[in-house]
Structures are given as structure tokens and as C-alpha cells.
Structure 1
Amino acid sequence: MDDPAHGVAARPAVTLAHDLRRFAGKLKRRLREQADIGDLTPSQTSVLVRLEQDGPSTTSALARVEGMRPQSMGTIIAVLEGAGLVMGMPDPSDGRQTLIMLTDQCRTWITEGRAAREDWLARTIEARLSPDEQARLVTVIPLLQRLIET
């Protein structure tokens, strides 16, 4: 990757960053194709992931961490409730508030979707990479994990 405006070759880290970003985007799209996510928007998907990882939360707390207005989050929650993916229950420590949580149906859907994506990826690795290439790929995973650690 050259920078014609400055007449110099890009630094190797910049080229690698560009290639990794493109790869990650393509992999994400391919994985998304392998499991039925229905008509969920990225915001709706993000809320489901957050509830799965962090547990039940109030609408206002979800809005805060997702960087949106509580009214907008309320609309997202209403759609997810209508789809049977989340439900509300009174907060045991403050009955005035409602905690939003994943339904059992949603947890099953998430588990099945994850299994479908991992199955596709495992079959693709086995079909397209030799045993030596698979062994090399194993050594790369810790390096990639270090890139995303906070």
C-alpha cells in the first residue's frame, strides 16, 4: 500500500492494519451469513450481546452504555420484547425499576447461531487449510488476542 501523495511506501504496520481490518470485516459478514439473525438492526444486536455478557439491566443503563437516549433504547427494547427476545421484570432491589433480561428463547437462539457459525468456520478451515497451515493459524490466535485486550 503506497501513499502517492507523499511518494513513500506505507509502513508495514499500517499495511497490516489495513489488511486485518478488511479481513475482520469480511469474516464478520461471512459468519453473519451462517446464522439467521432475522431483521435485527446492529443496535438491537448490540443490546442482546450486552445483556448476554453483562446480565439484566435497566433501559436507562443500557442507553447510557450504548450511547443513546433512553427513549431510543425504549424503542429498541419494545421491538425485542415483541419478538420474544427480551422481557422485563421488577428490579428486586428497587421495585420501581424494570430489569430487562434475555428470554430462554433468545438464549437458545444465540447458542444455536453461535454453533452454526463455529461449525461453518471449522468445516471451512478443514477444507481450505492443510494440517500445517492449521498449525500455523493456531500460533496466530494469541497474537490477535493481544491486539484486542484492553
Structure 2
Amino acid sequence: MNEDLDPDAVASALLASISVLVRRVRQVPTDGGLTMPERTALSHLDRSGPTTSSALAREVQITAQAMGATLSTLRARGLVERRPDPNDGRRVVLRVTDAGLESLKNKRNARTELIAGALTSGTFTPTELERLAAAAPLLERLAQNI
């Protein structure tokens, strides 16, 4: 490691720049207008698989009541469905429907297109694009180690 690099300075610069990027990307309007809590719930269900409402609330660190309201809205829109737990028939688990996956995909595609447009706008040199491509797996590994 370069002895001149200050880990605190690197952490501060990364946090500031990534925060701006995330805020701007989250502002991308898409059809179907999911709220932030709805997107969060759908994304977690998509990544983690079927789970209970209370487990999902714990995972995203909100109250069970708030999660219940969010999931109720998602169910009413056909984006989430309830099913008996295959391991315990007394419990009900929630899972993302095909419509819910499509809604997430549309949002992700809109975000990807926004970033791709910025990358191809002439603002970045080919060398900078290579650096950004190389940084992506490092940023993911950083996120996994926090």
C-alpha cells in the first residue's frame, strides 16, 4: 500500500462521492413509482428470498408496523404475495411476484441507463472508464466488509 495514502481521507472521499452518486441515481423517475420503503422491501425480498414480514422489518431496521403497511401496499399492487412457509405450514412468507421483479428491473434499467449515459457523454476518457470498471468490484467488496 502507498504509504502516503491516509485511510481516513480515502474513506471520507469515497463516502462523499458515493453518497452524491446514490442520491442522484435514486432520483431517477420510473413508471410505477415505487417509494423508497417499497423499493427497499422488494429489493431485500429479491436478494434474500421469501421471508416473514417481521424478519424483513428486522433486516431493514424498521418497525414491524411500518413494514406491514409497506407490504400491504405492495400486495395490493400485486408486487408481493403471501404463501405458506414450506418448512412450517403455520407461518406465512412473502415473496416478490413476477410483476414485482419487473418493477425492480425497470428501476434498475433506468438507473443503469442514466449512469451509462453519463459514462458515454464524453466526460470520461477511456483510461478513466477502465479505472471505474476496475473500481466496481473493489467497491462491492468494501460494502461487504462494512
Q: Normalised by the shorter chain, which TM-score bucket?
A: 0.7 to 0.9
Match in the other structure for 1:111? 105
TM-score (normalised: structure 1): 0.78
1:72 aligns with 2:66: yes
Cα distance change on mapping 1:14 and 1:104 into 2, 3 Å? same
Work out which of the residue numbers 114, 121, 131 in structure 2 matches 1:136.
131
Deviation at 1:102, TM superposition (A): 0.9
Deviation at 1:88, TM superposition (A): 0.9
Which of structure 1's runs of 4+ aligned residues deviate more than 6 A?
A: none
Cα distance change on mapping 1:24 and 1:88 into 2, 3 Å? same
TM-score (normalised: structure 2): 0.79
Q: Secondary structure at the match of 1:34?
A: coil
Work out which of the residue numbers 5, 8, 27 in structure 2 matches 1:14.
8
CA distance in 1, matches of 2:70, 2:95: 13
1:147 aligns with 2:142: yes
Q: Secondary structure at the match of 1:84?
A: coil
Match in the other structure for 1:60? 54
Tell me which structure has the larger Cα radius of gyration: 1
Cα distance change on mapping 1:72 and 1:39 into 2, 3 Å? same
CA distance in 2, matches of 1:138, 1:66: 29
What amino acid is aligned across from residue 129 of structure 2 in structure 1? Q
CA distance in 2, matches of 1:26, 1:47: 23
Deviation at 1:118, TM superposition (A): 1.1
What amino acid is aligned across from residue 49 of structure 1 in structure 2? S
Structure 1 unaligned segments of length 5 or more: list them: 1-10
Identity of aligned residues (%): 32
CA contact 1:59–1:73 (8 Å) conserved in 2:
yes
Structure 2 unaligned segments of length 5 or more: list them: none
